Amino acid sequence: MQYIEKPVHPFNRILDHVPILGDVIRQPLGAIGFIIVLAFIICVIFAPLIAPYDYSRQDIPNRLAGPSAQYWLGTDHIGRDIFSRLVYGSRIAFGTALPSVAIALTIGTLLGLIAGYLGNKVDNIIVVLMDSLQAFPSIMLSLAILALLGPSLVNVIIVIGLTWMPNYARVIRAQTLSIREKTYIESERSIGATDGSILLSHILPNVIAPALLLAAMDLPWVITFEAGLSFLGMGVRPPTPSWGVILSDGYAHIFESQWPIIWSGVTLALTTLGFTLFGEALRDVLDPRVSGTRGL
């Protein structure tokens, strides 16, 4: 009898060629997350092509209009197209989240490596400093700093980077502590490798994976955090179309039109949901031992 090959859906064949992403998409929730994240990234890259209008174009006679063929999601209080503003807003969300997570990751990794590798007094000092940074509720710490620095995009990035940094320092430190004692590190040291080269070429590659995963999981939280600060008027300033600014404009006119709040709220919640589903599926693929709980 001739062997008949089981038919494989062409889509699955494609997935086989993408190592990690393929496994993520195979999970239903991971696939939903992937679609949302993809849509988000497409908006970030192609914002001018997708948005039908400029984000600051005003059409006063049609202010606070509901959804229509002309303005798909309606207009805000000075007649700006909500859809276009939301599309451009993805750029602000991404442009804040990425650098601030990068700052947190870089400084956190550096401090975590130093604390874990050197140990003793240095370790104690860094741990106590991280503890006291985490002793503030993150929103309070950010408000205290922004109250002095004044609201701006760059300040928000710095503040978020600083607030999120201790998490990374902790993760990297714990990993470094366990790897420091391994035999291959000791043998490196015995052949005269410097601390710097051991840290960079032997410890860092072994400890960075969990921190990178944490960064992926943190992106949606940083996006909502930025929007929250902008909602309070402490982040990105109008007329820049941050989702938080759109939400705050909508709040000011809540009795006249609900559409700005509804659309920007839904966009924020969906983006966070998408990134979270994608991040959790990614984590399940990379580290199957951990099941569905998110650490604080």
Partner 1 sequence: MLVYVVKRFFMTILVLLLVITFLSLLVHIVPGDPASAILGPRATPALIQKVRSAMDLDKPFYYQVGNMVLNLLHGSLGTDIITGQPISRFVFSVLPHTLILAITSLSLAVLIGIPMGVFSATHPDSWMDHLMAIISISFTTIPSYVAGLFLLLIFAVQLHTLPAMGLGKAGDTIDYIRHLILPSIALAITWIGYLARLVRTSLLEVLNEPYVRTSRSEGLSEGLIRYKYALKNALIPTIAVLGVGLGSLMGGAVFIEIIFSRPGMGLLIYNAIQIRNYPMVRSGVLIVSFLFILTNFIADLIYTFLDPRIQLNKGQS
Q: Which residues of the chain form contacts with partner 1 (CB under 8 A)?
A: 29, 128-129, 131-133, 135-141, 143-149, 174, 220, 224, 227-228, 231-232, 234, 247, 250-251, 254-255, 258, 261-262, 265, 268-269, 272-273, 276-277, 291-294, 296
Vertex 285: Cα angle to 220 and 173 (nearest 5): 65
State the sign of the Cα–Cα–Cα–Cα dihedral 275, 100, 252, 68.
negative
CB of 234 to partner 1, least distance (A): 7
> Residue 200 or 270: which CB sits closer to partner 1?
270
CB of 210 to partner 1, least distance (A): 16
> Exposed/middle/buried for 77, CB within 10 Å: 0-12, 13-18, 19+?
middle
Contact 267, 86 (CB under 8 A): yes
> Residue 78 or 145: which CB sits closer to partner 1?
145
Centre a 10 Å sphere on the Cβ of residue 102 and count the other Cβ atoms it contains.
Answer: 13
CB of 266 to partner 1, least distance (A): 8
CB of 144 to partner 1, least distance (A): 5
CB of 235 to partner 1, least distance (A): 12
What lies within 8 Å, CB to CB, of 110 at 6+ separation is: none
Return the structure tokens found at 31: 């696939």
> Residue 45 or 269: which CB sits closer to partner 1?
269
> Residue 15 or 31: which CB sits closer to partner 1?
31
> Residue 72 or 251: which CB sits closer to partner 1?
251
> Residue 53 or 75: which CB sits closer to partner 1?
75
* Residue of 107, 218, 92 lying closest to 156 (CA atoms): 92
CB of 131 to partner 1, least distance (A): 5
Give the whole-angstrom CA distance, residue 222 versus residue 159: 11
